Amino acid sequence: MKKLFTLLALATLSLTAAAQQALWGFSEIKSPDVADDGTVTFRLKAPEANNVEITGDFLPRQEVSTPQGKALVRGKATMTKGDDGMWTFTSPALAPELYQYWFIVDGTRTPDPSNAFEIRDTNTLTDVFMVAGGPDSLYAVSNVPHGTVSKVWYPSSLPGGQRRLTVYTPAGYEKSSSRYPVLYLLHGMGGDENAWSELGRATQILDNLIAAGKAEPMIVVMPNGNAAMQAAPGESPLGFTQPTTRLPMTMDGTYEKAFPEIVAFVDSTYRTRTDRHSRAIAGLSMGGYHSLHTSKQYPDLFGYVGLFSAAIFPGEGVTSEIYKDTDAKLAAQFAAKPDLYYIAIGNEDFLYEPNKQWRAKLDAAGYPYVYKESPEGHIWKNWRLYLSDFLPLLFK
Amino acid sequence: MKKLFTLLALATLSLTAAAQQALWGFSEIKSPDVADDGTVTFRLKAPEANNVEITGDFLPRQEVSTPQGKALVRGKATMTKGDDGMWTFTSPALAPELYQYWFIVDGTRTPDPSNAFEIRDTNTLTDVFMVAGGPDSLYAVSNVPHGTVSKVWYPSSLPGGQRRLTVYTPAGYEKSSSRYPVLYLLHGMGGDENAWSELGRATQILDNLIAAGKAEPMIVVMPNGNAAMQAAPGESPLGFTQPTTRLPMTMDGTYEKAFPEIVAFVDSTYRTRTDRHSRAIAGLSMGGYHSLHTSKQYPDLFGYVGLFSAAIFPGEGVTSEIYKDTDAKLAAQFAAKPDLYYIAIGNEDFLYEPNKQWRAKLDAAGYPYVYKESPEGHIWKNWRLYLSDFLPLLFK
């Protein structure tokens, strides 16, 4: 028997090498390479390439001309080719943050083949890396109690009859008998039910704020806000169909009208508190638009409203009843005294002007709200900051 | 007021374009392009490249020499350059299946920039696509009731003190008061708690088999089997650290010894049935090894055992008590009459011989088991097939 074991042990010794062969090779090149001083070096082996650039949200923004006038877009830098065919670029020291980038090889967008971390925001796949802050950094997975993140399907009146959403239940939920307040947290155009828990780092932000006693333990529901989409790309009957942002029924009232079915599902499935002082709705961009119009349409549902870089007004030709009688609906919403009406936007955001008009409207009517303005524009960095700022204000 | 709305509507009309600008552009090239006849065309715009190849598990395997002798590895094909700088390759008609591939541009591994679907298997990121079968295809998201998939942390005696696992609860679990049987489903070396629900399509296979009445509604727990890893890369305090398969404590007995703490957590958190006839353990490769040794170490825990392309014997120098007294432990396990002891492997698998020896050992002792042999080797295609075959045998 001992001989058999030895023989087989020898056969098994090659498991690691063979398994790696049987699986798929992975790059030995370190890219991105985040140094202790916050500088980051990117590397791409491409001996035959004539020109390799990098574009990312950590590079200085560049001004470009657009049909709507001048705009600031994310910057690009040219990488340097070494004698060994390795192209490199080293950034200045970067502040702690989650960053996105990709390479452009002779004009072709090229994901970094040495980086295993790519996040898809519906139709957009980007390489990501994080420059860590202190041990209390909100975006990092810390050794604190962790909530559970679930992908759940709910019955819906929208096309397909059932839809997928993400639910965060705080640490301790499973073994508790308490009821919890609920935040409905909505993504933007080009996002889906995965957006806030992936690029938005909502799971980590919640775990860390709750563990620090800075936010109330809460359930956070992150639905798919595209009425034409049952679930994120790859997770619906459409299979691995190339995703698109050119969807119908994004901002035409369909989604807001159907929103109470999500609340009904959540209240009947989870141990929720069901008064409006225990219910918040917030979202970014299109999700801010959905939050604004849903909270105004159903003034009894939500005590807390958060508009992050929100779209405000419906497009030309949109005729849904959801967008009618705005003044009367707003009056009813504010007559009920919202616990919080929160607006945040970047001073470079292309939606800055409509937000300014919306604030003017609230001011004129004497409706109270909290307003936060940040640098930069319509980017995930800002939405993570707004969420981190908003959560501690809820359910106090 | 109407004028204000019109003005703002105009400002908002540019939302889609601006949002796309504010986010990140995505390729207009269709790749992969799955035709109705099952042929698939791949496209890469790379005017400056001298040579572009594609490698994938749908190409004929090629024989190579290795230190252990000749081996079959996945094939490669050279793509054809058009006058427009577009490289293309069209496959023969492919059978319905989930496939993996990538490009090699002038020797550099390059993910397909036009494909939004990449799946990481710990340290390996590959492009994926699916050739759909009939409407009953097990791997597709069908319009059947869907289970919930949760990422949950449990307290552990292993390094870090808490670890992440994936839990599938079948459709209806949340609103039922029934108790359910549990399958523990383990990944291989190079995988993590995401592997079975992503490349393994376990969620879809379960939804579809349960909806068809072919498998019992069950809870499926997919833990992280790397004792040195609290959670999948990017989901632990290590952050976006480049993943590796060169981990300590993978097959040294540490994980098997601690396994009962997972069972205790699951039984105290979910509505489970806790007799061994309601508990199964199965895994692929290293996960098969963990299943074999855990089920043998704790003969009262599991009535059902599944070894998919399993590693069998510990490596040289591994001294854990887990691997001692094999004959006596096996005798105890089989004296308790397992409901099912299931072995499946491909006839090209590099672990074929150790599996043959293990079967010889079971045969010699008269221990009953079910054996399935498939074509090909150590690949996800086989593991999905084995899971689809195994699930209907459980908890009958």
Pairing of β B62-66 and β B340-346: unpaired
> Does residue A23 carry a pLDDT above 50?
no
B312: closest CA among B262, B372, B362?
B362
Structure token digits, residue A183: 């935040």
Query: What's the confidence (pLDDT) of residue B110?
Result: 87
Judge if A293 and A389 occupy the same domain: yes
Q: Which helix (H) or strand (E) holds B220?
A: strand B219-223
Judge if A128 and A154 occupy the same domain: no
Task: Evaluate the CA torsion angle A190, A195, A199, A202 in order and state its sign.
Answer: positive
> Which one-letter DSSP state was computed for residue A5?
H
Peptide bond into A32 cis (omega under 30): yes
What is the ipTM, given to two decimal places? 0.91
Residue B9 touches partner A, C-beta closer than 8 Å: yes
> Last residue of some domain: A101, A132, A163?
A132
Alpha helix (H) ranges present in A115-199?
none
Q: Does A237 contact B143 at a Cβ distance shorter than 8 Å?
A: yes
Q: Does A240 contact B50 at a Cβ distance shorter than 8 Å?
A: no
Judge if A165 and A285 occupy the same domain: yes
Restricting to A residues 273-332, those with a Cβ less than 8 Å away from any Cβ of B are 285-286, 311-316, 327
Q: What does the DSSP assignment read for B288-346?
A: HHHHHHHHHH-TTT-SEEEEES---SPPTT---GGGSSHHHHHHHHHHT--SEEEEEEE
Judge if A166 and A120 occupy the same domain: no
> Does residue A16 carry a pLDDT above 70?
no
Q: Which helix (H) or strand (E) holds B46?
A: none
Judge if A256 and A355 occupy the same domain: yes
Judge if B42 and B172 occupy the same domain: no
- Name the strands in the sheet holding A33-34, side by side, starting at the edge strand that comes first in the sequence: A33-34, A40-45, A86-90, A80-81
- Residues of chain A contacting B4 with CB distance shorter than 8 Å: 357
Rounded CA-CA distance B173/B180 in Å is 9
Q: Is residue B137 part of a domain?
A: no
Q: Which range of residues forms the domain containing residue A77?
A: 25-132
> Does residue A186 carry a pLDDT above 50?
yes
Q: Which residues contact B295 (CB under 8 A, 6 or more apart)?
A: B281, B301, B302, B305, B333, B338
CATH code for position B115: 2.60.40.10
Q: Is residue A316 part of a domain?
A: yes
Query: What's the confidence (pLDDT) of residue A159?
Result: 92
CB-based contact A367:A341 (threshold 8 Å): yes
| Per-position pLDDT tens, chain B of length 396 | 334 333 333 333 333 334 333 344 556 789 999 999 999 999 999 988 899 999 999 998 888 887 777 777 778 999 999 999 999 999 999 999 999 999 998 888 888 989 989 888 877 789 999 998 876 789 999 999 999 999 999 999 999 999 999 999 999 999 999 999 999 999 999 899 999 999 999 999 999 999 999 999 999 999 999 999 999 999 999 988 888 778 888 999 999 999 999 999 999 999 999 999 999 999 999 999 999 999 999 999 999 999 999 999 999 999 999 999 999 999 999 999 999 999 999 999 999 999 999 999 999 999 999 999 999 999 999 999 999 999 999 998
Count how many Cα atoms sit within 13 Å of the Cα of residue B211 in the half-sphere of its side chain. 17
Q: Does A48 contact B48 at a Cβ distance shorter than 8 Å?
A: yes
Q: Does A146 contact B153 at a Cβ distance shorter than 8 Å?
A: yes
| Percent of chain A topping pLDDT 70 | 92
Rounded CA-CA distance A61/A54 in Å is 13
Pairing of β A118-120 and β A370-374: unpaired
CB-based contact A221:A272 (threshold 8 Å): no
Q: Does B116 contact A124 at a Cβ distance shorter than 8 Å?
A: yes
Structure token digits, residue A89: 């670029």
Q: Does A18 contact B350 at a Cβ distance shorter than 8 Å?
A: yes
Q: Does B12 contact A117 at a Cβ distance shorter than 8 Å?
A: no
Query: What's the confidence (pLDDT) of residue B259?
Result: 98
Judge if B93 and B187 occupy the same domain: no
Q: Is residue B338 part of a domain?
A: yes
B55: closest CA among B72, B78, B86?
B78
Query: What's the confidence (pLDDT) of residue B26?
Result: 55
A100: closest CA among A61, A67, A129?
A129
How many beta-carbon pairs below 8 A join chains A and B?
Answer: 284
Restricting to B residues 211-240, those with a Cβ less than 8 Å away from any Cβ of A are 231, 233-237, 239-240
Residue A84 touches partner B, C-beta closer than 8 Å: no
Q: Does B105 contact A105 at a Cβ distance shorter than 8 Å?
A: yes
Residue A111 touches partner B, C-beta closer than 8 Å: yes
- Residues of chain B contacting A115 with CB distance shorter than 8 Å: 242
Count of CB atoms situated within 10 Å of the CB of A228: 16
Q: Which of A117, A188, A189 sits opposite B240 (nearest CB)?
A: A117
Q: Is residue A20 part of a domain?
A: no
Residue A45 touches partner B, C-beta closer than 8 Å: yes
Q: Does A354 contact B8 at a Cβ distance shorter than 8 Å?
A: yes
A9: closest CA among B187, B315, B222?
B315
Query: What's the confidence (pLDDT) of residue A201?
Result: 96
Rounded CA-CA distance B345/B376 in Å is 9
Tens digits of residue pLDDT in A274-322: 999 999 999 999 999 999 999 999 999 999 999 999 999 999 999 999 9
Pairing of β B86-90 and β B40-45: antiparallel
Pairing of β B162-169 and β B182-186: unpaired
> Last residue of some domain: B132, B163, B191?
B132
Nearest residue of A to residue B127 by CA position?
Answer: A240
Look up residue A16 and give its amino acid.
T
Rounded CA-CA distance B301/B304 in Å is 9
Q: Is residue B56 part of a domain?
A: yes
Alpha helix (H) ranges present in chain A?
2-13, 15-22, 202-211, 254-269, 286-297, 326-335, 352-365, 380-390
Nearest residue of A to residue B349 by CA position?
Answer: A22
Rounded mean pLDDT, A346-363? 96
> Does residue A17 carry a pLDDT above 70?
no
Judge if A122 and A33 occupy the same domain: yes
> Does residue A236 carry a pLDDT above 50?
yes
Nearest residue of B to residue A355 by CA position?
Answer: B8
pTM of the model: 0.92
CATH code for position A156: 3.40.50.1820
Q: How far is A213 from chain B (nearest CA, A)?
A: 20
Q: Which helix (H) or strand (E) holds B69?
A: strand B69-73
Q: Does B106 contact A47 at a Cβ distance shorter than 8 Å?
A: yes
Judge if B164 and B293 occupy the same domain: yes
> Does residue A98 carry a pLDDT above 50?
yes
Using the structure block, give the residue that is written with the tokens 């010699």.
B364
Q: Which residues contact A324 (CB under 8 A, 6 or more apart)?
A: none
Q: How far is B339 from chain A (nearest CA, A)?
A: 27
> Last residue of some domain: A102, A132, A162?
A132
| Percent of chain A topping pLDDT 90 | 76
Look up residue B174 and give its amino acid.
E
Q: Is residue A286 part of a domain?
A: yes
Mutate: best of B30, B48, B326, partner A, most A CBs <10 A: B48
Q: Does A315 contact B12 at a Cβ distance shorter than 8 Å?
A: yes
List, in sequence order, every beta strand (DSSP E) within chain A.
33-34, 40-45, 52-56, 62-66, 69-73, 76-78, 80-81, 86-90, 97-105, 108-110, 118-120, 125-131, 148-155, 162-169, 182-186, 219-223, 279-284, 304-308, 340-346, 370-374
Judge if A267 and A120 occupy the same domain: no
Q: Which of B48, B121, B151 sits opposite A149 (nearest CB)?
A: B151
Q: How far is A146 from chain B (nearest CA, A)?
A: 6
CB burial class (10 A; 0-12, 13-18, 19+) of residue B168?
A: buried
Q: What is the mean pLDDT of chain A?
A: 90
Judge if A286 and A334 occupy the same domain: yes
Structure token digits, residue B337: 């009459």
> Does residue A7 carry a pLDDT above 80?
no
Structurally, chain B folds into a number of domains equal to 2
Q: Which of B48, B237, B379 sits opposite A106 (nearest CB)?
A: B48
- Residues of chain A contacting B192 with CB distance shorter than 8 Å: none
- Residues of chain B contacting A118 with CB distance shorter than 8 Å: 111, 118, 125
- Residues of chain A contacting B10 with CB distance shorter than 8 Å: 316
- Residues of chain B contacting A128 with CB distance shorter than 8 Å: 240
Q: Does A239 contact B140 at a Cβ distance shorter than 8 Å?
A: yes
Q: Is residue B3 part of a domain?
A: no
CB-based contact B57:B379 (threshold 8 Å): yes
> Which one-letter DSSP state was computed for residue A272?
B
Rounded CA-CA distance A293/A290 in Å is 5
Q: Is residue A17 part of a domain?
A: no
Q: Which residue did the predictor score with more confidence, B207 or A19?
A: B207
> Which one-letter DSSP state was computed for residue B198?
T
Biggest distance spanned by C-alpha atoms of chain A: 89
Q: Which residues contact A286 (CB under 8 A, 6 or more apart)?
A: A186, A187, A188, A189, A191, A225, A250, A251, A311, B15, B19
> Does residue A26 carry a pLDDT above 70?
no
Judge if A153 and A127 occupy the same domain: no
